């Protein structure tokens, strides 16, 4: 892959380049970009708020507009395969942070060296020789060289930021593509969770898809070799590659498969075929039905009645159509085109103010801390110090922008400094009615901790007023996307220690969480236990049944069986 591709692709979501280069040299370690404060003239940052994005760019205006338009075009094309309604939803806008390679913020060799060495390492390197056990001296090998990733996308639980260094002379929109990892993230984090067959089918097709100026083209279906020849023949043997649809939608490998690997491979191929069939055909006659069926399958059992309601076909007829469609999918490409060429609305691209630069760059640098902590923990304090400097630059000059305060609070939460975090988050909540979901949750968590509330199982002692202090930000978080499982878990924990009994409607909020996060068995158990405790046994029964069905281990099953025994004893 050319160097141009390395730099450009991430402008649409790809993470490329530096990891492979570092691995090849052995001693080179890749770090996310470390953008130090400008000591001299500040960069000409530009700002735009458009199409659900916040953009901060030091690139020239024309290039910045091209990057934004290209990002919009690629996502419009992706929408023909994975519509926005089936992608992860975020109330907080995603951020694009573009840096002009001709004038990037300083990342001097001195900064790299400072990052690379802890103080203890610096002391040891002052004397490059150390004694061996037998008294001889040996030369210590040189420390690893550090390079910075030129591009990266990092996620928090409620939003994400894309950073890219862009070379203007090498930017060509038609060479840019969305990364499979990015598509997998927005698909797998969609809530309620999409059925496995749809996710597998979309990702299998996208892995071999091609972006052009006006289309997303799906390549010929890659069918397992053992079944491909039969699939291309006419006659009864053509039915052999396909599983019966009820078995396929259940996601189980056929018990008569000679090997699990082959069974999984065939199931994945059929998932790709089913999505391909749903998208294909002259005039795309099944496309709306596919989207509707997928959305409903995320919250309902897949039955023949549901399938027939969406597609107007019973399983047997659909199986015949899929079998007849398979040779075409193996032979022909499928071009997906939006009905109209994607166009952005007019928007201002203006000089960014100090608060916007501090907030967006500071939030990016905050996200870097988690990445560095996971890969190079010794360097995390350097990144934390840099994020604080960036955020506090505007704060110390008097800004009390609520979104800036929220990022400052999250930065301190991530650093483990809850007292400072609460101060910033309380100030943010006082100055704004709408904050990002995670900011609301962290504020509620810190308020609950400050109340010294006992954990579940202890004697209830929270007054309704105290509980209300915690419920207020949790309620605000529930109004935002994406839903956070920890919000519902904390609601359950507050009710468990509140002196006031919850009403049926108040406990229904927890059932909302269970339906969104059915595999969070701790949430299911707490919700069931509260319903048992307060006499709502009918609701408790279905929650216990769900818990017994999805319990990941024997210990979890035992807890649900104990609740079941309590319900039966009460009856």
pLDDT tens, position by position, 86-135: 999 999 999 999 998 887 666 545 555 666 655 455 445 444 455 555 55
pLDDT over 80 at 348, yes or no: yes
* DSSP structure class, residue 149: -
Mean pLDDT value of segment 269-294:
96
Mean pLDDT value of segment 276-285:
95
Query: Is-contact 146 78, C-beta < 8 A?
Result: no
Other beta carbons within 10 angstroms of residue 138's beta carbon come to: 10
CA 81 distance to own-chain centroid:
18
Other beta carbons within 10 angstroms of residue 187's beta carbon come to: 19
Give the pLDDT score at 250.
Answer: 92
Kindly list the distances between the CA atom of residue 300 and the CA atoms of 54, 198, 202, 303, in Å, as whole numbers in the listed order: 36, 14, 20, 9
Collapsed DSSP state (helix, strand, coil) of residue 158: coil
Adjacency order of strands within the sheet including 209-211: 209-211, 216-218, 334-336
Nearest to residue 525, comparing CAs of 560, 495, 497, 481?
A: 560
pLDDT over 50 at 14, yes or no: no
Least confident piece of the model among 240-244, 326-330, 447-451, 513-517: 240-244
Collapsed DSSP state (helix, strand, coil) of residue 211: strand
What percentage of residues in the chain have a pLDDT greater than 70?
80
Contacts of 113 (CB under 8 A, 6+ apart): none
pLDDT over 90 at 300, yes or no: yes
Q: Where are the beta strands (DSSP E) in 86-182?
A: 94-100, 129-131, 137-139, 145-148, 151-155, 160-166
Token pair 């597609």 is found at 311
Query: Is-contact 275 202, C-beta < 8 A?
Result: yes
Contacts of 339 (CB under 8 A, 6+ apart): none
Mean pLDDT value of segment 203-228:
88
Give the pLDDT score at 9.
Answer: 37
Backbone angles phi, psi at 253, to 5 degrees: -70, 145
- The answer to whether the predicted template modeling score (pTM) of the entire model surpasses 0.85 is yes
Angle between helix axes 402-415 and 354-375 (nearest 10 degrees) is 20
User: 199: cis peptide before it, omega within 30°?
Assistant: no
Query: Is-contact 261 269, C-beta < 8 A?
Result: no
Give the pLDDT score at 458.
Answer: 57
How far is residue 530's CA from residue 463's CA, in Å, rounded to a whole number? 17
Banded model confidence at residue 174, pLDDT cuts 50, 70, 90? confident
Mind listing the pLDDT tens digit for each residue in 411-465?
Answer: 999 999 999 999 999 999 997 778 999 999 999 999 999 998 665 555 668 999 9
Helix (H) or strand (E) holding 275: helix 260-279
What percentage of residues in the chain have a pLDDT greater than 90?
68
Collapsed DSSP state (helix, strand, coil) of residue 266: helix
Give the pLDDT score at 469.
Answer: 97
Half-sphere exposure of 72 (CA within 13 A, CB side): 18
Collapsed DSSP state (helix, strand, coil) of residue 340: coil
Domain positions in the chain are: 3-118+142-179+346-350, 220-332
How far is residue 322's CA from residue 388's CA, in Å, rounded to a whole number? 57
Give the pLDDT score at 236.
Answer: 43
Give the pLDDT score at 144.
Answer: 63
Exposed/middle/buried for residue 141 (C-beta within 10 Å: 0-12, 13-18, 19+): exposed
How far is residue 61's CA from residue 48's CA, in Å, rounded to a whole number? 11
Kindly list the distances between the CA atom of residue 220 and the CA atoms of 237, 335, 540, in Å, as whole numbers in the listed order: 21, 11, 49
Taking 3-state DSSP, the helix, strand and coil percentages for the chain, each rounded to the nearest 5, stand at: 55, 10, 35
Nearest to residue 287, comparing CAs of 266, 311, 306, 305?
A: 311
């Amino acid at each position: 892959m050319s160097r141009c591709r390395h730099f450009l692709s991430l402008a649409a979501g790809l993470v490329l380049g530096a990891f492979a280069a570092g691995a090849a040299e052995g001693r080179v370690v890749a770090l996310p970009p470390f953008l130090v404060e400008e000591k001299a003239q500040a960069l000409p940052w530009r700002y735009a708020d458009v199409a659900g994005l916040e953009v901060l760019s030091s690139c020239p205006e024309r290039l910045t507009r091209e990057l934004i338009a290209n990002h919009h075009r690629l996502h419009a094309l992706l929408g023909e395969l994975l519509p926005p309604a089936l992608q992860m939803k975020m109330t907080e806008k995603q951020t694009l942070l573009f840096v002009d390679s001709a004038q990037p913020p300083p990342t001097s060799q001195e900064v790299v060296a400072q990052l690379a060495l802890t103080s203890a390492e610096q002391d040891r390197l002052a004397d490059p020789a150390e004694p061996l056990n037998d008294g001889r001296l040996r030369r210590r090998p040189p420390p690893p060289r550090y390079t910075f990733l030129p591009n990266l996308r990092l996620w928090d639980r409620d939003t994400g930021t894309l950073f890219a260094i862009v070379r203007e002379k090498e930017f060509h929109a038609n060479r840019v593509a969305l990364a499979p990892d990015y598509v997998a993230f927005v698909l797998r984090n969609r809530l309620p969770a999409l059925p496995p067959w749809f996710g597998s089918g979309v990702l299998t097709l996208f892995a071999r898809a091609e972006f052009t100026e006006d289309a997303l083209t799906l390549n010929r279906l890659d069918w397992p070799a053992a079944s491909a020849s039969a699939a291309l023949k006419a006659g009864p043997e053509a039915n052999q590659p396909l599983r019966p649809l009820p078995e396929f939608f259940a996601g189980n490998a056929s018990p008569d498969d000679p090997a699990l690997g082959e069974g999984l491979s065939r199931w994945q191929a059929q998932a790709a075929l089913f999505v391909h069939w749903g998208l294909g055909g002259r005039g795309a006659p099944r496309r709306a039905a596919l989207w509707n069926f997928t959305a409903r399958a995320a919250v309902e059992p897949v039955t023949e009645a549901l399938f027939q309601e969406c597609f107007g076909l019973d399983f047997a007829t659909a199986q015949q159509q899929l079998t007849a469609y398979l040779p075409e999918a193996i032979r022909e490409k499928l071009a997906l085109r939006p009905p109209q060429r994607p166009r952005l609305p007019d928007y201002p691209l203006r000089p960014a103010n100090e608060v916007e630069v501090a907030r967006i760059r500071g939030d990016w640098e905050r996200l870097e801390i988690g990445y560095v902590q996971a890969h190079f923990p010794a360097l995390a304090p350097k990144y934390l110090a840099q994020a604080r400097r960036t955020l506090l630059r505007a704060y110390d000059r008097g800004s009390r922008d609520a979104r800036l305060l929220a990022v400052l609070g999250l930065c301190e939460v991530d650093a483990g400094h809850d007292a400072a975090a609460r101060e910033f988050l309380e100030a943010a909540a006082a100055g704004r009615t709408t904050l990002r979901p995670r900011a609301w949750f962290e504020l509620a968590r810190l308020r609950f901790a400050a109340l010294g509330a006992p954990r579940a199982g202890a004697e209830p002692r929270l007054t309704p007023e105290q509980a209300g202090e915690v419920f207020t930000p949790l309620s605000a978080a529930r109004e935002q996307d994406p839903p956070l499982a920890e919000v519902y878990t904390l609601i359950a924990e507050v009710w468990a220690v509140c002196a006031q009994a919850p009403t049926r409607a108040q406990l229904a909020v927890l059932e909302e969480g269970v339906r969104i996060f059915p595999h969070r068995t701790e949430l299911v158990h707490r919700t069931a236990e509260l319903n048992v405790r307060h006499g709502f046994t009918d609701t408790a029964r279905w929650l216990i049944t769900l818990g017994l069905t999805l319990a990941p281990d024997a210990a979890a099953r035992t807890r649900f069986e104990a609740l079941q025994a309590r319900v039966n004893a009460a009856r």
